[in-house]
A and B are shown apart, each in its own frame.
Chain A
Amino acid sequence: MTIQAQPISHTHEGHHPNPREYLMLDPKPRGEMNAMVMDAMHATSWRFWVVAAFLGLVVLVCLFGAWGYMIMEGLGVAGVNRPSYWGIFLVNTVFWIGISHAGTFVSALLRVFKAEFRRPFTRAAELMTTFGLVQAGMSIFMHMGRVWLSYWMFPFPNQRQLWTNFHSPLMWDFLAINTYLLASTMYLFLPLIPDLAMARDRSTGWRKIFYRILALGFRGTEGEWTHLRHALGIFAFAILPVMFSVHTIVSWDFAVAMRPGWNSTIFGPYFVVGALHSGIAAVAMVLIVVRATMKNMKYFIRPEHFNALGKLMLIVSMAWAYFFFNDYMVQWYGGDKWTDALLHFHEAGPLGWMWFGMLICNVAIPWLTLWNKKVRTTPGLLFTIGLLINLGMWFERYIIVPISLTINRMPFTWREYVPGVEIPLGIGTLAFFILLYMIASKLIPLVPVWEVQEGQLAHSLRKFGKETVVTVSDLE
């Protein structure tokens, strides 16, 4: 058992913050925390139903309605055409996979590095992973057109004994995204089991039956905790390379093509860092909304968590800028005629504002704001910065996909991409993501109370000379 000690941060004026501002130093009885989480699930205002109904309508019309229309009429109602055969569907696919990286980062990477601040929001982040991947899968199916033939992607021999082509990055995509989806869902469910057992013990009626089935008979015996701890340790370490591999493989959809602007060896890490950039910003946004709209969440999600996420957003923004400049510098320096034309089109073409908007949202705004603790711990400001980051990252993917496809080595084919049915379908996926999240927040405990209690037991205060420091025991 190891112990770390760190001073509680204080200002230069010597102001010592109240330790109870920090969740890990402000323990409540477990029963009370359980009641708070259950209350948050059960307390549903009329506003929830209004928003859910509105989102349901949007999903019905913009997602399923528009998709049905596209299936009936064909892909011609989308804007994809020569030379931009990949459009907003792919942009949204990459975007949603990027959002999904947040959950794994928060839940797995921070668990591996024993960052204690992760404890109250790992489940909220993991839900984003699962639902984000659902939207990514839907977006790629939309792009596919003939979705009823999607089974062709499954690795089995057809009637001519011909297997799928494993040399194709699309096949790597299929394997990687499905691996990540299954792994994330399992990683969401395993630490949820003890909280489902808690919900089972505190519920009646249909909820009790629902939680009883999902809790699988969990009691909290030594054996059960041992098996769960081993599994979570394996998952936390193993899902990280899967997370890195997924977005790297998605980047190879572009990088392995011999196209100006795409054929870059930096695309792998560039995409991974971009995914973390949009993902962490999205986690911050979701937590701000959850804290503002759900009962009792102000106890679990505190300014200290926004402070930590804000710092992460700043660091990842710097990393993204580094990779962006790496990619840009090498292309610009090479002087290839077609790459030059592409870079000029990015900056000075009809959608040049998007390129500058990307840099302002992804780099300038985070760098100018997130160094300030007051900004990081103000929910409204952090939400706005997170929204702008996600907007900037969507712009980045739009620039990489349809805008870059406009410029190829055959100028007579150059034609601006004008989206069609992609717009309502994209809005539909966003509405579906929010709707799924809202439904999940009412069905499963959003805060892993057992993890919060474990963390609170591990934290204590002690005096080092005249300084009061926080000591954290490694209970494992």
Chain B
Amino acid sequence: MADTTTLLAVFPDLDPAAHALDELRTLGVHDDQMNVIAGIPVTEAMLGRPRQWSNVPRLALGGALAGFAVGLFLAVGTPLMYPIYVGGQPLIPVPPSIVVIFEMTMLVMLIATFVGVFLDSAYPSYKPKEYVPEISDGKVGILFYCPAGDEEKFTQALTKLGAESVQPVEAQPL
């Protein structure tokens, strides 16, 4: 982003942070140019932020369908490939097939959900990032881009709203 500075404003609590986001919008910072970092899962509604997109539910659904297909193959496909009648039961009995299909559906769905978190969050990611350890101690951080040269204006505005610090931040190893 040309001619911008990355600033990190740290707030002691959620309320001043939510007001600070409104102030930043007033000062011309777009929602895409802000990111909130917090130690608890604050929702978009609390902060007045746009809804975050997540692929995790879709990946879970895809995993469920894939697991269903795997379970179907194991329960129905394998006896057809090598037919052996056991226990006086039909080649493809319904009740045991339900058990196998259910377990495989759940297994692959949950694995897909887990992997989905990794994919969506780009985990693992050990490259340097903008962060301060105080955030895991309950502070709320707002990472934003401001035009170069306006740092003082933004710092004063956010400090007036309760920011404990507003500092230029560079990516560093976590």
Given A176-B103, A225-B42, A234-B60, CB of A220 within 8 Å of CB of B135: yes
State the CA gap A30–B137 with chains docked (Å).
5
Closest A residue by C-beta to B120: A227
Asked if B26 is at the interface of the complex by the 8 Å CB criterion, the answer is no
B164 to chain A, nearest CB (A): 13
Number of interface residues of B (CB under 8 A): 64
Interface-central residue, A29, A201, A453, by most chain B CB under 10 Å: A201
Residues of B within 8 A of A213 (CB): 124, 126
B160 to chain A, nearest CB (A): 24
Residues of A within 8 A of B36 (CB): 221-222
Contact A453 B138 (CB under 8 A): yes
Given A30-B138, A172-B96, A238-B109, CB of A165 within 8 Å of CB of B103: no
Asked if B54 is at the interface of the complex by the 8 Å CB criterion, the answer is yes
Closest A residue by C-beta to B173: A212
Chain B contact surface mostly: helix
Given A212-B174, A222-B35, CB of A227 within 8 Å of CB of B56: yes
Asked if A161 is at the interface of the complex by the 8 Å CB criterion, the answer is yes
Among A203-233, those with CB < 8 Å from B are: 212-213, 215-231
Cβ-defined partner of A217 (8 Å) among B46, B106, B111, B124: B124
Asked if B9 is at the interface of the complex by the 8 Å CB criterion, the answer is no
Cβ-defined partner of A230 (8 Å) among B56, B110, B118, B126: B56
Binds B, one of A8-16, A190-198, A360-368: A190-198
State the CA gap A301–B111 with chains docked (Å).
32
Residues of A within 8 A of B89 (CB): 167
Contact B39 A194 (CB under 8 A): yes
Contact A34 B57 (CB under 8 A): no
B133 to chain A, nearest CB (A): 4
Contact B40 A198 (CB under 8 A): no
State the CA gap A177–B123 with chains docked (Å).
27
Closest B residue by C-beta to A225: B41
Contact A166 B97 (CB under 8 A): yes
State the CA gap A125–B121 with chains docked (Å).
27
State the CA gap A163–B81 with chains docked (Å).
9
Closest B residue by C-beta to A242: B106
Q: Which 4 A-B pairs have the closest CB atoms?
A: A30-B138, A217-B125, A31-B137, A201-B133
- Chain A interface residues toward B at CB < 8 A: 1, 29-31, 34, 155, 157, 161-163, 165-167, 171-172, 175-176, 178-179, 182-183, 186, 190, 194, 197-198, 200-202, 212-213, 215-231, 234-235, 238-239, 241-242, 245, 249, 450, 453-454, 457, 475-476
19 more CB-based (< 8 A) A-B contacts, given A242-B106, A476-B43: A31-B138, A157-B82, A172-B96, A172-B100, A175-B107, A179-B110, A194-B136, A200-B174, A201-B174, A212-B174, A216-B118, A217-B122, A219-B37, A219-B129, A222-B42, A224-B121, A238-B109, A475-B43, A475-B46
28 A–B pairs (Cβ distance < 8 Å), ordered by A? A29-B138, A30-B39, A163-B81, A166-B96, A166-B100, A172-B99, A172-B103, A175-B104, A176-B99, A183-B106, A183-B107, A186-B114, A201-B174, A212-B174, A216-B124, A218-B121, A221-B35, A221-B37, A223-B120, A226-B52, A228-B41, A231-B113, A234-B56, A234-B60, A238-B106, A238-B113, A241-B106, A475-B43
